[in-house]
Amino acid sequence: MKKIWFLNHYAIYSNHPGITRHFDFGKELVKRRYEVTIFASNFNHVNKTYINDFQGLYKEEFVEGVRFLWIKTYPSYKDNDWRRFLNMLSYAYEVIKVGLKLEERPDIILGSSLHLFAALSAYILSKRKKAKFVFEVRDLWPQSMVELGSYTRYHPIVWLMYKLEKFLYKRASKIIAVLPKIENYIEDLGIEKSKVIYIPNGVDLEPNDSKSGVLLPDGLEDSINSLKRSGKLIVAYVGSFGVANNVEIILEAAQIIHKSEFQNIHFLLVGDGNRKEKLVEYVEKNNLQNVSFFSAIPKKAVSYLLSKVDITVIAWKNRKNLYKYGISANKIFDYMAAAKPVVISINAANNPVEEANCGISIPPENAIELAKALVYLSNMPMEDRIAMGNRGREYVRKHHSIPILVDKLVNAFNS
């Protein structure tokens, strides 16, 4: 039985808000007789709270056959500032300590980047444990920071990050790319293209097939029921309120619709992030009574929530250089798996909504076009919206279901 270690600072399972990619992969790998351990921080990045409290280096928890080792990381943080940076370093250091303390020897250690330090720790442990090192690239660090304007390319930290990034690419036995065109970026760095395997984000379709036993917070459930009783059509955004997520343009579209004759559309925004306070202020300042905010919900409740809405929406800022390697946002596939039409605002190398013909695509940062698209879908006959949503679900089933993605992952491990 092969042993796989996933090092992902922000990994969670479905009882918590956040991204469950490795938990979903882990459950499927366990079915295939792999032993799976996920090393994750006990500080939840989405709601900025500690998941559990414990004594010692780590806490062990088994969830549906997958072993989680919760690592203490400090300090806590609210924004993308020095505290978060220290929390990253804390994870990288503590996970090495925990990994070395364990007597077992894994066959494969996968380091996943939302930051490079987790991947560096995976590489160090792979050398000590004589295991295969696999580097999963979920976000281009530090390229994303440069494109979003957080740092210049010539900042000393950014320069060091570029050096570390190339170091890890060279030493990985395989590189898992979550974005479809990352291989072009990696090849430009002089790394063999043959090392790169594209495995996008996906969806565990089982929760979408069985929504029983899932509860939403009372306020959210009551709000949805009240909106439905009053004949409102619900447009949902479920995700983070961060710099890369252009929720501002969604609110501008809501304002346009609020001032129009189309008073049957209501926006439901569910999530947390460092931009949320400013977004709430915008709604209050402009008296947008067609917008409601709610806190992030556990991942297992997302499909149930989406089953109750009519249309979904997602928007990015106009960062052509950032998205020229593609997108693979979890929320897109959550929307599509729920069989809901999607309005997407993006300029990227790929567009799953266009490929599936399950919604409307518009240019980024265009509130007028976004409002028009939402009004168009709201006026569409219900059976046409249902057919549009079903095309998205079928696309996800064929290309982004967890068993299909794990087939690719196993091939990467064995090649």
By the 10 Å C-beta count (0-12 exposed, 13-18 middle, 19+ buried), 54 is classed as middle
Distance CA(87)–CA(105), nearest Å, equals 27
Same domain, 192 and 214: no
- Res 207: pLDDT: 63
pLDDT of residue 120 exceeding 70, the answer is yes
**Bridge-partner residues for 191, per DSSP?**
none
pLDDT confidence bin for 77, thresholds 50/70/90: confident
Give the CATH number of the domain where residue 340 resides.
3.40.50.2000
Assess contact for 237 and 340: CB atoms under 8 A.
no
Same domain, 192 and 340: no
Same domain, 181 and 247: no
Distance CA(184)–CA(71), nearest Å, equals 34
pLDDT of residue 211 exceeding 60, the answer is no
- Res 213: pLDDT: 54
248-267 confidence digits (pLDDT tens): 999 999 999 999 988 999 99
Chain mean pLDDT for the chain: 93
pLDDT of residue 148 exceeding 80, the answer is no
Assess contact for 117 and 84: CB atoms under 8 A.
no
**Residue 72 — φ and ψ, nearest 5°?**
-70, 125
333-392 confidence digits (pLDDT tens): 999 999 999 999 999 999 999 999 999 999 999 999 999 999 999 999 999 999 999 999
pLDDT confidence bin for 103, thresholds 50/70/90: very high
Same domain, 210 and 359: yes
302-323 confidence digits (pLDDT tens): 999 999 999 999 999 888 778 8
Same domain, 253 and 142: no
234-250 confidence digits (pLDDT tens): 999 999 998 778 999 99
- Res 144: pLDDT: 76
> Tokens 């792979």 — which residue?
126
**What tokens appear for 50 in the block?**
């500690």
Assess contact for 395 and 336: CB atoms under 8 A.
yes
Residue range 136-148: average pLDDT? 80
**Structural domain for 357, as ranges:** 206-399
Assess contact for 318 and 365: CB atoms under 8 A.
yes
What secondary structure, in 3-state letters, does the chain show?
Answer: CCEEEEECCCCCCCCCCCCCHHHHHHHHHHHCCCEEEEEEECEECCCCEECCCCCCCEEEEEECCEEEEEECCCCCCCCCCHHHHHHHHHHHHHHHHHHHHCCCCCCEEEEEECCHHHHHHHHHHHHHHCCEEEEEECCCCCHHHHHCCCCCCCCHHHHHHHHHHHHHHHHCCEEEECCCCHHHHHHHCCCCHHHEEECCCCECCHHHHCCCCCCCCHHHHHHHHHHHHCCCEEEEEECCCCCCECHHHHHHHHHHHHCCCCCCEEEEEECCCCCHHHHHHHHHHCCCCCEEEECCCCHHHHHHHHHCCCEEEEEECCCCCCCCCCCCCHHHHHHHHCCCCEEEECCCCCCHHHHHCCEEEECCCCHHHHHHHHHHHHHCCHHHHHHHHHHHHHHHHHHCEHHHHHHHHHHHHHC
Same domain, 165 and 20: yes
Same domain, 107 and 151: yes
Residue type, 293: F
Same domain, 280 and 386: yes
Assess contact for 200 and 400: CB atoms under 8 A.
yes
- Res 151: pLDDT: 72
289-298 confidence digits (pLDDT tens): 999 999 999 9
pLDDT of residue 8 exceeding 80, the answer is yes
Same domain, 180 and 301: no
Same domain, 173 and 211: no
Same domain, 120 and 210: no
pLDDT confidence bin for 208, thresholds 50/70/90: low
| CA atoms within a 13 Å half-sphere pointing along the CA-CB vector of 212 | 1
Distance CA(357)–CA(388), nearest Å, equals 7
| CA atoms within a 13 Å half-sphere pointing along the CA-CB vector of 32 | 16
Residue type, 217: P
pTM: 0.93
Same domain, 19 and 132: yes
Number of domains in the chain: 2
pLDDT confidence bin for 79, thresholds 50/70/90: confident
- Cis link prior to 75 (omega < 30° from 0)? yes
pLDDT of residue 39 exceeding 80, the answer is yes
Look at 69 and 190; give whichever has higher pLDDT.
Answer: 69
